[in-house]
Amino acid sequence: MDYFSNDRVNEGDRRDTAFQLVNALREVVSISRKLNQPISYEQTLDLVEDLNPDIYKSMTVLLDRKNESDWVKYYKELAEAQSTPENEINPVDLIEKDLKELNSIALNKGNKRFLKKRIRDYKSAIEFFQPRKISEHKILARDTYIAERKDLNLNGKIYEREEFIDYKLDSNNVLRLRLLHPDNAENIIGADLIYEHLDTKNGRIRFLHMQYKTWDNKSLNFKAGSLNAQIEKMDRNLCKAGYCNNDKGKKTISGFRLPYCCAFLRPTSKLQSSNSKMVSTGLHVPICEVKKIMETEKSLNKKNVSGKNVSYKIFDELFNARMIGSRWLTYEEHTNFYKERNLLDIDNIIRLHAQEIII
**Footprint of Zn ion (CB under 5 A):** 239, 244, 261, 263, 287-288
Least distance in angstroms from the C-beta of 241 to Zn ion: 10
Q: Do 297 and 320 form a contact (C-beta atoms < 8 A)?
A: no
Distance of CA 88 to the CA centre of its chain: 36
Which of residues 263 and 271 has its CB atom nearest to Zn ion in the complex? 263
DSSP result, 291-317: HHHHHH-SEEETTTTTTT-B-HHHHHH
Which of residues 29 and 287 has its CB atom nearest to Zn ion in the complex? 287
**SS3 of the chain: helix, strand, coil, percent, to 5:** 40, 15, 40
Strand partners, 45: none
Least distance in angstroms from the C-beta of 178 to Zn ion: 24
Which of residues 252 and 336 has its CB atom nearest to Zn ion in the complex? 252
Least distance in angstroms from the C-beta of 334 to Zn ion: 17
Least distance in angstroms from the C-beta of 173 to Zn ion: 26
Which of residues 185 and 324 has its CB atom nearest to Zn ion in the complex? 324
Q: How far apart are CA 20 and CA 221, in angstroms?
A: 18
Q: Do 5 and 60 form a contact (C-beta atoms < 8 A)?
A: no
Which of residues 51 and 239 has its CB atom nearest to Zn ion in the complex? 239
Which of residues 305 and 357 has its CB atom nearest to Zn ion in the complex? 305
The residue among 25, 33, 28 whose CA lies nearest residue 56 is 25
Least distance in angstroms from the C-beta of 263 to Zn ion: 5
Which of residues 140 and 287 has its CB atom nearest to Zn ion in the complex? 287
The single-letter code of the amino acid at 7 is D
Which of residues 263 and 349 has its CB atom nearest to Zn ion in the complex? 263
Q: Do 173 and 359 form a contact (C-beta atoms < 8 A)?
A: yes
Q: How far apart are CA 19 and CA 41, in angstroms?
A: 10
Which of residues 166 and 289 has its CB atom nearest to Zn ion in the complex? 289
151 secondary structure, DSSP code: G
The residue among 125, 4, 130 whose CA lies nearest residue 57 is 4
Least distance in angstroms from the C-beta of 195 to Zn ion: 15
Four-CA torsion 70, 72, 73, 75, nearest 10 degrees: 120
The radius of gyration of the chain from alpha carbons, rounded to an integer in Å, stands at: 24
Beta strands in 174-232 (DSSP E): 174-180, 191-199, 204-214, 219-221
Residue 205: strand, helix, or coil:
strand
Least distance in angstroms from the C-beta of 338 to Zn ion: 17
Q: Do 78 and 91 form a contact (C-beta atoms < 8 A)?
A: yes
Least distance in angstroms from the C-beta of 181 to Zn ion: 27
Least distance in angstroms from the C-beta of 143 to Zn ion: 33
